[in-house]
Amino acid sequence: MNSTVFTENLKKFRLAKNMTQEEVAEILCVNPQTVSRWECGTTLPDVMMLPTLARLYAVTVDDFYKKHSVAYENYAERLSAVYEKTNDPEDFIQCRSEYQKLMKEGSLSISDKWNYATIHHFMIRHCKKIALEWYDKAIAEGPESNLHIYRRARSLRTSLMVELGKGDEVIHAQKEACEASPNDLEEWICLVEAYIYAKKYEDAYDAFRQASEKFPENWVLYINGGEICASLKKYDEAFAYWDRAGELGTDFYDELYCKAWCYHDLGEYQKAYELYIEIADKLRASHYDEEAEMAENEAKEIKRKMK
């Protein structure tokens, strides 16, 4: 340890915070003489004391050992600088936690508000990159590995690409894929969903009709067809497609969820409530207790609206 740099920083950081040795001593529950000896280099603080000192002076422990370092306005601001440098999610979590403490105290400055927004902005950017990378890894396993996961990965990747403003690019690529492999069900499903995510419902409807003629026994297409028709306010047709999906057998009572969502949007709360109860009962019977509880919570929320 470079004790000279360390002790100089102890004093520099204290002065930057406009604190006296007596004030620091009182906060740390030590004698003022102890703080003085630390800054003179006569003795050094216990290593277990360093995180507390760092937090007090709005620095990191590493800052004590750097020749050129500064004290920040608060500890949260220092951690935001660390996160911007590392892009490590663990640093984000620690920084976010510090800002939330400031929120509870009601002591956020305009700089704090800006920094709080910034760390979330950077985290979104980081998460999007990681999500695309790992969707691609899952998709690379192919439908043979796990068809349900493969489809979900492709669907959600498409959704994310649309969110990133690349909807037209995805649709163009999927149209080419369907033309190149007209008998590939997975490519048609992805094309229909690309249109749905891009909210191009008329195009989605045309693609769905073509796909359902080619693959009349696929429940995923009928779930999507129902969603498209509901968006186009063709409700009778939507429910007919969801019924067809149910007849074919969905993975997770998808048709019931779709009907419940639609009834809720239409303001038919009693029907939506009954469907969520039915979903909860089916899930609990299959030992999906957490999912059953979520369905029950949806039913409770609807029940409140009915009063």
Query: What is the per-residue pLDDT for 68?
Result: 81
What is the spatial distance between Cα 109 and Cα 107, in angstroms, rounded to a whole number? 6
Whether 67 maps to a domain, the answer reads yes
The answer to whether position 199 is within a domain reads no
Percent helix, percent strand, percent coil in the chain, to nearest 5: 80, 0, 20
pLDDT of residue 1: 47
Q: Name the residue type at position 36.
A: S
Residue 100 pLDDT: 95
> Is 281 inside any structural domain?
no
With respect to residue 232, please indicate whether it lies within any of the assigned structural domains: no
Alpha helices in 87-143 (DSSP H): 89-105, 110-140
Are the CB atoms for 9 and 69 separated by under 8 Å?
Answer: yes
Domains of the chain: total: 1
Structure token pair of residue 76 = 């949260």
Residue 129, domain member (yes or no): no
DSSP one-letter code for 183: T
| Residue 31 domain flag | yes
Task: Give the three-state DSSP class for 69.
Answer: coil
Cα–Cα distance measured from residue 66 to residue 96, given in angstroms and rounded to the nearest whole number: 25
* Residues of the chain under the 50 pLDDT cut: 1
**CATH code where residue 21 lies:** 1.10.260.40
Sign of CA dihedral 226, 230, 232, 235: positive
Q: What is the pLDDT, as a whole number, of residue 16?
A: 85
CA separation for the pair 26, 159 (Å, rounded): 55
pLDDT at 135: 98
Residue 298 lies in a domain: no
Boundaries of domain holding 43: 1-71
Question: What pLDDT score was predicted for residue 2?
Answer: 55
Would residue 25 count as lying in a domain? yes
